[in-house]
Amino acid sequence: MQKIDHKDCQASLLPIRDAMDVINGKWKLLIYISIANGNSRFREIERSIPDISSKVLAKELKELEANQLIKRTVYDATPALVEYTATEYSKGLGDVLTALKDWGTRHRNQIMSKA
């Protein structure tokens, strides 16, 4: 009888849970990608993501900032000028995004072909 290595399993659960806490939800990664691609102004980001609302965008931006993935800079001008940029630190997400994008593409095909 095989013994299952529960330590290995448990060791994976925690980091994955941590990661998911940050990128969870319908919008966070999409917003991050938009910013990483060069969109920096609130309305610009809003327009770049289909169907997102101001309210959700504002809320998610705060969470992304709290997790140090983006930086919010306010320029002292009238009317207020605010810029969102991806942090150096956030570049570490690159592998996650690549893996998700690749798998998402393949999975779409898989599900479509069987439907």
Partner DNA sequence: TACAGCAGTTACCTGTTGGTAAGCAGTTAA
Partner DNA sequence: TTAACTGCTTACCAACAGGTAACTGCTGTA
Binding region for a second copy (CB under 8 A):
2, 4-6, 8-10, 12-20, 22-26, 29-30, 33-34, 37-39, 48-49, 67-68, 89, 92-93, 95-108, 110-111, 114
Q: Are 73 and 82 in contact (CB under 8 A)?
A: yes
Sign of CA dihedral 91, 92, 95, 100: negative
Of residues 82 and 100, the one with the C-beta less far from a second copy: 100
Which residue in 12, 19, 38, 72 binds DNA (CB under 7 A)?
Answer: 72
| Cis check: omega of the bond before 15, within 30 degrees of 0 | no
Judge contact between 30 and 48, C-beta under 8 A.
Answer: no
> Of these partners, DNA, a second copy, none, which one is at the site of residue 115 (CB under 5 to 8 Å by kind)?
none
Which partner from the list DNA, a second copy, none does 87 bind, CB cut-off 5 to 8 Å by kind? Answer: none
Which residue in 26, 91, 101, 107 binds DNA (CB under 7 A)?
Answer: 26
CA distances from 61 to 16, 21, 28, 55, 70 (A): 22, 15, 8, 10, 8
Interface residues toward DNA, by CB under 7 A: 25-27, 41-44, 51-56, 58, 60-61, 72, 78-82
